[in-house]
Chain A
Amino acid sequence: MRIRALIVRIIRQFIHDKRTLALLIIVPLVVLSLIYLVFDGDSYQPRIGAVRMPEPIAQRLIERNAEVTRFDSAEEAEEALAGREIDAVFRFDGGAPRVKLEGSDPSKNRAVMAVMQAAMQDLAALQSRAGAPGLPAVEYLHGGPDMSTFDSLSPVLIGFFAFFFVFLIAGVSFLRERTSGTLERLLATPLRRWEIVAGYTAGFGIFTSLQAVLIAGYAVGALGSLMVGSFGYVLLILLLLSLTALSLGTFLSAFADTEFQMIQFIPLVIVPQVFFSGLFDLESISPWLRWLTHVTPLKYGADALTDVMIRGEGWSAIAFEVCVLLGLTLVFMAANVLALRKHRKI
């Protein structure tokens, strides 16, 4: 069978080209590990400079995991702040508390403010003694107090890696088929256009499935990413997402003449998808840009992965996304069969 011949050839090419195989399989794992190390560290310990601070407040701050340095004068504290030895200065001007933040890093600002508020609330609760309304009891519908930034990013990240590397490798391989003249040679055989596209999808599909299992398995098993739902659904979504990337990459390669032009699709096609994929909150996005979120495959994949991994949802929650990804794959494949008409009409 001719499709089988194409699949065997693609497997052999991968076996000979171990570097590309590594890019597809090992690089996502390495990058995922790096991101894990960056985001899964202990929560930041803010450094607060205290100027004439009453001892009970300082105690509460230390209990809330802040590093408190005491200063005798505001000038000394300001100097330390300018030298970035501390993140904030906390002082009392005639009884009223005042905070001055170093301010150049929003995440540090938030850490300081969170610690301050918690400490002040602790203090207030202590002073009002029992009977007064204390702090509300907090419950979580999804996730939990121990959920790290990495846990929340992980569904988007594994979706992104499944998408990005497959897009690049499949796109460039298909393009090379054209630039090296082998596509023309293929078209001088009885191979049908749809068989070329199907063979490519199946051949690369084997490696993208392998990649999906490894990325998801590594993120959940080795990096301990939060995983509430079914692992099988995660694999299904990842596989469909990478098939979408595969069909989109091979289709777009028809519009590139060189590998360099293929690389130019990254800022055009991949980077915007990252912004709309859920790494950033999209509630505040300009309304005239919002429609873009509906045409980005990565967004559907990331939404479905988040539903399964973090919210533990089942089939009913991801059915729509799964259908969209499947539909996009088929549309891109059909478009590619049509694009090949440029090279042979029959």
Chain B
Amino acid sequence: MSSPTACISARGVTRRFDDKEVLHGITLTVRAGEIFGLLGPSGSGKTTLVKMLAGIDKATGGEIDVLGTRMPKLEMMNRIGYMAQSDALYTELTARENLAFFGSLFGLRGGRLKQRMQDVMALTGLAEHLNRPVGAFSGGMKRRLSLAIALLHEPEVLILDEPTVGIDPVLRKAIWDELEALSRKGTTILVTTHVMDEADKCHRLGMLRGGRLIAEGTPEELKAGSGTSSIEEAFLHYGGVRA
């Protein structure tokens, strides 16, 4: 066990698909209650890594602990909220029916389920669309509904894979404010992103490139350490490219 405040800790995690190793010995720690950003271009292995951290996939080598429990472990699913990169929604069902389905998978029912559904829909600004079929939603609305589903069972750990793709700046800010609020209440949040300006909003960052963690630290540390003024330049620096 690393420090007692560690919420997610990965040690020497590798993942191999057939003969191709896509993650090479990732070691990182996400502290309890922080917003940790996993930054990297598409194809760098972000999704592969978060799927293992969320317990959907199993690492080929290395160890992953979440809340002190060795992953993957089915019981941990109740304490983790996961939002996939693709909007995994049943388009023929209404928003309410989607929420009710996922809610009951997490054991929510009756008045509590109803209350949580209203809370998360208000939070994501979808309250008035509760009874509309998801097939009629715009891309941004689907993204928000996916987020609402991930928040439904009030997980202690939130793992969000590219949560703000296709969401307009106003709403994106609203979502980041909400993540900030959740973090203050003690929820640990791991987000992946390839948008550099979002990275500044994270408490700490991990930079992923070609399946390797090239840097880890607060945005300020990373900028100072590389002698650069922006996260983008810092990323290039740690990636071995001179700007």
Contacts and interface: CB of A to CB of B under 8 A. Distances in A.
Verify that A and B bind, or say they do not. Answer: yes
A37 interface: no
B42 interface: no
A189 B92 CA distance: 21
B84 A188 contact: yes
Contacts of B82: 185, 188
A106 interface: no
Contacts of B149: 185
A181 B104 contact: no
Q: Which of B73, B102, B106 has the most CB of A within 10 A?
A: B102
Interface stretch (B23-31, B51-59, B122-130): B51-59
Interface in A267-295: none
Contacts of A189: 77, 102, 105-106
B31 to A, nearest CB: 22
A184 B56 contact: yes
Contacts of B56: 184, 187-188, 343-344
Interface string B95-138: 00100111011110000000000000000000000000100000
Q: Which of B56, B72, B75 has the most CB of A within 10 A?
A: B56
A186 B105 contact: yes
B74 interface: yes
B196 interface: no
B87 interface: yes
A182 B90 contact: yes
B155 to A, nearest CB: 11
Contacts of B202: none
B101 A8 contact: yes
A182 B145 CA distance: 13
Interface residues of A, number: 26
Given A16-B133, A181-B84, A188-B84, A9 B77 contact: no
A4 B78 CA distance: 18
A12 B106 CA distance: 19
Contact of B93 (A16, A188, A343): A16
7 contacts: A8-B100, A9-B97, A16-B93, A185-B88, A190-B75, A190-B106, A345-B72
A191 interface: yes
Contacts of B55: 188, 346
Contacts of A2: 104-105
Interface string B147-177: 0010000000000000000000000000000
A137 interface: no
A210 to B, nearest CB: 19
A186 B78 CA distance: 12
A17 interface: yes
Given A188-B84, A189-B102, A346 B74 contact: yes
B47 to A, nearest CB: 10
A346 B56 CA distance: 8
Q: Kindly list the 5 A-B residue pairs having the minimum CB-CB distance in the complex, ordered from nearest.
A: A185-B88, A5-B104, A181-B86, A188-B82, A181-B88
Contact of B74 (A9, A17, A190): A190
Interface residues of B, number: 33
Contact of A12 (B58, B84, B93): B93
Given A4-B104, A188-B56, A190-B106, A13 B77 contact: no
Interface in B53-86: 54-58, 72-75, 77-78, 80, 82, 84, 86
Interface of B: 51, 54-58, 72-75, 77-78, 80, 82, 84, 86-93, 97, 100-102, 104-107, 133, 149
Nearest to A2: B105
A251 B54 CA distance: 26
Nearest to B102: A189
A104 interface: no
A107 interface: no
A180 interface: yes
A9 B58 contact: no
A275 B206 CA distance: 61
Contacts of B89: 180, 182
A311 interface: no
Interface string A185-199: 111111110000000
Contact of B90 (A13, A190, A344, A345): A13
Contacts of B86: 180-181
B69 to A, nearest CB: 13
Contacts of B87: 181
Interface in A165-213: 180-182, 184-192
Contacts of A345: 57-58, 72
